[in-house]
Structure 1
């Protein structure tokens, strides 16, 4: 372990340092004083060659006098005197780093952290197109919340049932008007075609429809003829009743959240009601009554039913329509007018609807 230097060694080294500096300055001025003071003997004895330089060093004279004064009073205090601030040699010290050094140091540039909204700002990845197999499944079971809208066409067939009707003003040749009879009808048929438009926002549909229906005459009840002693008679009639109608219809579709979609609606239009060779003959006589004419008049209908979507564009329909002519039900005959009363029709239809 290295031994720490004592006080005398420190003084000698200090004096030597001052001597070197003074010698350099003395060579420049060429004026070195050879006079020595008796008070400088203790240090000169340590290093005689340093005394001329010490004399010329600032504050050296005062420091040596202070040292001699202290050691003259107490020789043992020489080492303590060296610790006096007035005798400590001035040494150049480096300034301490200011406390704000760290604060003044430029910050190292760091990479900014990714914003939390990075994932939100990333554009969504486009999903691959649905496989053909899934497309087939979607057609079989379409999404009911995405039912079609726009222009469509519809075609349906009817089972047509006419109500029993009164025949007012029947007449017989040779006798004239004989009174009021009645007739019923066989089950008939109907054909309907329509083009319409559906709005998806309010589930309303409007359409233009053409409809044709026909029923054969069934049993006819003929009134009694008192002049001929003929009582009320029922016979099988001949001929048919047909209608050809143009309607403007409106519908409201009920969204059930499934492929089933019920509807209700109504329509009004013009109809051509025709009696096609209607005739009936009293049994055992030649007394015959007949009606063969056609008239135009207003008609209305009300509808209700349901549709089942086989695909997003195509649905099958099952519904009911009640049809009734408001006018045009009075026919001309050679013997006068015959009025067809209560001639409404019940129509049960099955059809298909397709959106384009």
Structure 2
């Protein structure tokens, strides 16, 4: 899927060089994973909210290459974040278990005209995929005694967000934004999980124009 997204963007850039300006961007921030609903594979019991699987905050970062035309932007983006586990089925975790998420998305943006040369609010949405890697150790306080493992699963993912671009120089924009990221369910030998992340990001965009 990653190759497909990049191929689609490159094809678009070569097809309309006179109509759109290319750009690159990078960002970093704070990623807050929501509590995961968890279905235990051994008992079939569904644990929800704080009784499922909870996480510590992580640091998401990523980059993108895209095209801007008038008020619209389209880009192919890669992102990564890792969140340590806080609890599992209500039991505290201190062993360093974690969930890492590598995303590859096609994003679309609409820059809202507020009649300002320096500030540009925007809304955005994206579709793509996520490779979720769950790292579990045997030292977790788990009454059922699930095994240690490290498993990666590729799933569909989408995101929506909003933010503001602040013009720092002729070709340089500072981006402050929020993203809600929602991958599909994933599973390992410890259970089946729903996951989502609220990401608060600060970034820089460089326009080639």
Q: Same fold (TM over 0.5)?
A: yes
Matches within 5 A, 1:84-95: none
Q: Which one scores higher on RCO, CA 8 angstroms, separation ≥ 6?
A: 2
Matches within 5 A, 1:1-356: 150-171=21-42, 177=43, 179-181=45-47, 182-200=52-70, 203-222=71-90, 234-238=91-95, 239-258=97-116, 259-277=118-136, 280-282=140-142, 287-290=144-147, 292-327=150-185, 329-331=186-188, 333=189, 338-341=191-194, 343-356=195-208
Which runs of 5 or more structure 1 residues have no equivalent in the other structure? 1-148, 172-176, 223-233
What is the CA–CA distance in structure 2 between the aligned matches of 1:163 and 1:254, rounded to whole Å? 29
Aligned-residue CA RMSD (Å): 2.0
Which runs of 5 or more structure 2 residues have no equivalent in the other structure? 1-19
Q: CA deviation at 1:330?
A: 1.9
What is the CA–CA distance in structure 2 between the aligned matches of 1:191 and 1:250, rounded to whole Å? 18
Give the TM-score taking structure 1 as reference length.
Answer: 0.48
Rg comparison, structure with higher value: 1
What is the CA–CA distance in structure 1 between the aligned matches of 2:61 and 2:177, rounded to whole Å? 14
Aligned partner of residue 60 in structure 2, secondary structure: strand
Q: CA deviation at 1:273?
A: 1.1
Q: CA deviation at 1:250?
A: 0.4
In terms of fraction of residues, the more helix-rich structure is: 1
What is the CA–CA distance in structure 1 between the aligned matches of 2:68 and 2:175, rounded to whole Å? 15
What is the CA–CA distance in structure 1 between the aligned matches of 2:57 and 2:135, rounded to whole Å? 16
Q: How many residues align?
A: 181
In terms of fraction of residues, the more strand-rich structure is: 2
What is the CA–CA distance in structure 2 between the aligned matches of 1:178 and 1:339, rounded to whole Å? 10
